[in-house]
Amino acid sequence: MSVTSHAIRQGRGNRRRAGIAYLPVACTAFVTACASAPPAPTAPPPDVGQIALAAQRVSSIDVPYRLLFEWSINEPGSRLGGRGVARIEPPAFARLDLFSSNGERVAAAALEGDVLRIADDVQTDVPPATLLWGTLGVFRPGTGIGLTGGRRFPGGELELQYQDAGGSTILYTLSNSRIQQIDVQHEGRTWEEVTLIREDGERFPRQAMYRHLEDVRELRITLESVEHVESYPADIFYLGM
């Protein structure tokens, strides 16, 4: 073999060895560059104040309504059911009456804003004002309850978090500014909840279920009809008739 041929082969071998030697260095540089790349952008936090205003606006009472519904209550030692009526008046008045299958009144409650009045002859408990409004699909957290935060779920739903004076947390789950669920938590545990089933384009929930998990009590309301009516006498919201 000539000296020239040997030198050419040796040079080619050196270049191959040099390429192999540099490969780990190149991979290390690539991995380092990837590790130091900025994180992918995330969705901005929701504007909870604007979301709350939109939910209030969408669910506000615009005209007087009369709702007829079926209801059932399951609680320890008692199971009742029948029909009921809800009378609703702007800006924030509502009254619900529950009747048994034989026409006997089982419960009556009236709302004036955040004030809840309950008839003396009720045979079962009713939800507090915030949750009673919630069964009607009305977003009304109440006065004295502070908006403390919110988050956006991957499916598009939004959650608003409130805190009341007693330390309870109230969570509203919203879709298209309408209530889907309300959870009342104490020390991280859900004690009460309202779950709504809606139909597209309908003003009021098709079904509302209130559950008190600690007392093992459930109230289920299934809507039958909705009517626009004339204004109601004021005294019905004070349980006057």
Q: Which two tokens stand for residue 61?
A: 């009472």
How far does CA 192 lie from the centroid of its chain? 13
pLDDT at 13: 47
23 CB neighbour count, 10 Å cutoff: 9
- The amino acid present at 139, given as its one-letter code, is F
pLDDT at 43: 53
pLDDT at 48: 94
pLDDT at 93: 97
Identify the sign of the CA torsion 98, 67, 204, 52.
negative
Residues 6+ apart with CB under 8 A from 220: 71, 72, 73, 207, 208, 209, 210
pLDDT at 27: 40
In a structure prediction context, what are the per-residue pLDDT tens digits for the chain, which is 241 residues long?
443 444 434 444 444 444 434 334 444 444 444 445 544 444 556 799 999 999 999 999 999 999 999 999 998 888 889 999 999 999 999 999 999 999 998 899 999 999 999 988 776 778 999 999 999 999 999 888 999 999 999 888 999 999 998 899 999 999 999 999 999 999 889 999 999 999 988 999 999 999 999 999 999 999 999 999 999 999 999 987 6
pLDDT at 108: 93
Cis omega (within 30 of 0) on the bond before 91? Answer: yes
Q: Which of 180, 174, 148, 143 is nearest to 161 (CA)?
A: 148
- The verdict on pTM exceeding 0.75 is yes
pLDDT at 34: 44
Tokens 């007392």 correspond to: 215
In order of 136, 164, 233, the CA distances from 240 in angstroms are: 22, 31, 9
Answer for the pair 67, 223: CB distance below 8 angstroms, yes or no: yes
Kindly report the three-state secondary structure assignment for every residue of the chain: CCHHHHHHHHHHHHHHHHHHHHHHHHHHHHHHHHHCCCCCCCCCCCCHHHHHHHHHHHHCCCCCEEEEEEEEEEECCEEEEEEEEEEEECCCEEEEEEEECCCCEEEEEEEECCEEEECCCCCCCCCCHHHHHHHCCCCCCCCCCEEEEEEECCCCCEEEEEECCCCCEEEEEEECCEEEEEEEEECCEEEEEEEEECCCCCCCCCEEEEEECCCCEEEEEEEEEEEECCCCCHHHHHCCC
Residues 6+ apart with CB under 8 A from 138: 59, 60, 61, 94
How far apart CA 232 and CA 222 sit, in angstroms, is: 23
